[in-house]
Structure 1
Amino acid sequence: MSERVGMVVPTIGGRPEYLPLALQSIRDAGKAYVILVGNKGFDASEFLASGLIDKYLDEPEPGLAAKINFGFRALPKDIRFINWLGDDDLLTPGSLTAATERLAQPDEPVLVFGGCEYIDPNGKPIFTNKSGPWAVPLLRVGPQLIPQPGALYRRDAFERVGGLSNKFGWAFDFELFYSLSEIGKAVYIPKVLANFRWHPGSLSVSRRRESVNEASAVRKAHLPKLLRPISELWEWPVRQATYIAGLRVSKKLKK
């Protein structure tokens, strides 16, 4: 029987039509202790009463990374595996169970991830990111193709790399996965584990250029010092290709 995992859902309360769907998807994904972290004064009584969440917390300071870190620190001590879910994204049924079972294997990977289906604001599929195991070495030289929704990682490994960095507004998930892959094994599960909702209000969509630039800064920071001065030789084309790929998805959504 799979063990309970810790899930944090950060919200500003601006997507009331999506938040209940995100929370229900966690319940359908497996055994989880769910903490909702919102802006001060957010009314979570309905979600507590319905059992969609186990705990509600007001954020201690602004910033998405800080909000998620705060939620993780409040999880019960016995929880070993963790992740967060955006309030507009979804987990697929049974995905937490599948990820937990893989993390608990004797080889003890620090991170597991699977495929992710991109959906439009109404939930209609756009395309599926099947990534694959090659997404891990690609972190060093290319775009971040490990889907954050649906991933799961060890809490002790998360704490070992220092949690989510407050230096980044959008690429802190990229920085986390890069750091985790340096201290242990990251494993791909050939199964769609989550849905990412691609819409104008999503931070990774509306602030695409900033996100791409931050990802580049993450890669540079992890390079040997001798390579950093010449890194623009490959970083510039990688940034352009990643940005253009995102624009293509947005154009496809408008059709």
Structure 2
Amino acid sequence: MTAPAVSVLMPCYNAARYLPAAAGSVLSQTLTDFEVVAVDDGSTDGTKALLDGYAAKDPRVRVISRPNTGIVGALNDGLEQCRAPLVARMDADDVCHPDRLRRQVAFLRDNPECVAVGTFAVLFGAGGRVLDLQGEVTAHKDIVARVRRGAGGALLHASAMFRQDALRAVGGYRKEFAWVEDLDLYLRLADHGTFANLPRYFYGYRKHPGAVCRIRRTEQTARKERALAEDFARSGRSRPPALSREDRYRPADPALARDRQIVGLLARGAPRRAVVSAAKGVLRTPLRRAAWDVLALVSCRRPPAPHKVADLLDGPQLALPLAIAPATVGGNR
């Protein structure tokens, strides 16, 4: 059997409420040469039945069902089953733009030194309200500088596409760094190639009130410190000071800071002001495609139905409109 161009690795845990939107956004990609490796991590809410239904209808979907071990075990078991040279992460409660995979594949083809490429993201709440944007830096030097100061989110893990040979070269994910598995992975991958972010809002990341960063903060902080200490001991580099929360999310480009301010207006219930500000941004930099993304996002007055959550807006510049299933806590966060 010929290997696909991309393996989409999607761990799933009690994500039935959000899975139709996530799976629909993946199966609607403009790049069609991919497989979905969906790992059911011992779900009890009907996730497995949904996954089996997708697999019955689409031969690109392969389902792995196993007892619950948590995110790291699910990722490693799924990685073992990935057949493509490129592995794209996807969370079972998020959505992605239909052109996401095609753009990331093209970037990695044109940049053979790159081992991981992410995208900017729209952050939205469990109930669907747009909260913020994430996307501070695009270049390797800026990403790796933030990673080495503890900011694993400089390359949003769920949006990333990796070279599988690089993932295997570093041994995949390590169980002892669960909850900071992305940071630990990046610290080891940085010795094997470069990182990048596409400066487009191609991913929709759902934030939950019961996310790991809230309920496991103490353990997460301790494991982050251990991963950073191990990295600096291994490399011999002197350790820079940790980033403050403000600096961690401070965009390197003033245009990205303006994007966040515009979406902040929308989040605070001022959609008209958001649209006016976004339109001014497009007039200021008409060739900047992310500016069009933001205008399309804030102009979307009525989100599409949940099963059309990643449908494109009309127009030459495309954004990710978000609609949203009812709120429950799900997914491996």
Matches within 5 A, 1:35-114: 35-40=37-42, 42-43=48-49, 44-51=51-58, 54-59=61-66, 62-76=69-83, 79-114=84-119
Taking the TM superposition and a 5 Å limit, the aligned residue runs for 1:179-190 are 179-190=188-199
Distance in 2 separating the partners of 1:45 and 1:68: 19
Change in CA separation of 1:96 and 1:226 when aligned onto 2, cut-off 3 Å: closer
- Give the structure-2-normalised TM-score: 0.63
User: C-alpha separation between the residues in 1 aligned to 2:98 and 2:216?
Assistant: 30
Contact 1:23 1:52 survives alignment (8 Å): no
Q: Give TM-score scaled by structure 1 length.
A: 0.81
Name the structure 2 match of 1:151. Answer: 160
Q: For structure 1, list consecutive stretches of 5 or more residues without a partner in the other structure.
A: 246-251
TM-superposed CA distance for 1:207, in Å, is 2.5
Partner of 1:216: 225
**Given residue 22 of structure 1, which amino acid in structure 2 is its aligned partner?**
A
Matched with 2:144 is 136
What letter matches 1:34 in structure 2? V
Quote the Cα distance in structure 2 between the aligned partners of 1:254 and 1:220. Answer: 39
**C-alpha contact (below 8 Å) 1:136/1:181 kept by paired residues:** yes
- Give structure 2 stretches of 5+ with no counterpart: 250-263, 270-333
Task: Give the CA deviation at 1:53.
Answer: 5.8
> Could you list the per-position Cα deviations for residues 129-159 of structure 1 after superposition, in whole angstroms to 9, with x for gaps in the alignment?
1121222221112422211122111000000
Shift of 1:161: 0.6
- Quote the offset at 1:97 in angstroms: 0.7
2:20 matched to 1:11?
no
1:164 pairs with 2:199: no
Instruction: Say if 1:28 and 1:15 are closer, same or farther in 2 by CA, change over 3 A.
Output: same
- Matched to 2:62, the amino acid is K
Contact kept, 8 Å, 2:143 with 2:195, in 1: the verdict is no
- Checking the alignment, whether the CA contact within 8 Å between 2:42 and 2:68 is kept in structure 1 is no
Match of 1:197 among 201, 206, 229: 206
CA distance in 2 between counterparts of 1:226 and 1:95 reads 34
> Which structure's CA Rg is the greater one?
2
Which structure is richer in relative contact order (CA contacts within 8 A, separation 6 or more)? Answer: 2
How many aligned residue pairs are there?
238
Letter matched to residue 28 of structure 2 = D
- Indicate if the aligned counterparts of 1:38 and 1:58 stay in contact, CA closer than 8 A: yes
Gap change, CA 1:38 and 1:130, over 3 Å in 2: same
SS in 2 for 1:182: coil
Aligned sequence identity (%): 20
Give me the whole-angstrom Cα distance separating, in 2, the residues matched to 1:100 and 1:118.
23
Decide whether the 8 Å contact of 1:198 with 1:205 is kept in 2.
Answer: no
C-alpha distance in 2 between matches for 1:154 and 1:226: 23
Matching residue's letter, 2:16:
P
Alignment of 1:115-134 (within 5 A): 115-132=120-137, 133=139, 134=142
1:234 CA drift (Å)? 3.5
Range with greater deviation from structure 2 (48-57 or 174-183):
48-57
User: 1:1-26, CA deviations, whole angstroms, 9 ceiling, x for partnerless residues?
Assistant: xx6310121122x2311111111111
Decide which moves more: 57-66 or 215-224.
57-66
Q: Which amino acid aligns with 2:146?
A: L
Deviation, structure 1 residue 216: 2.3
- For 2:135 and 2:111, locate their aligned partners in 1 and report how far apart those are by CA, in whole Å: 25
**Structure 1 residues 163, 225: CA separation in 2 closer, same or farther (over 3 Å shift)?**
closer
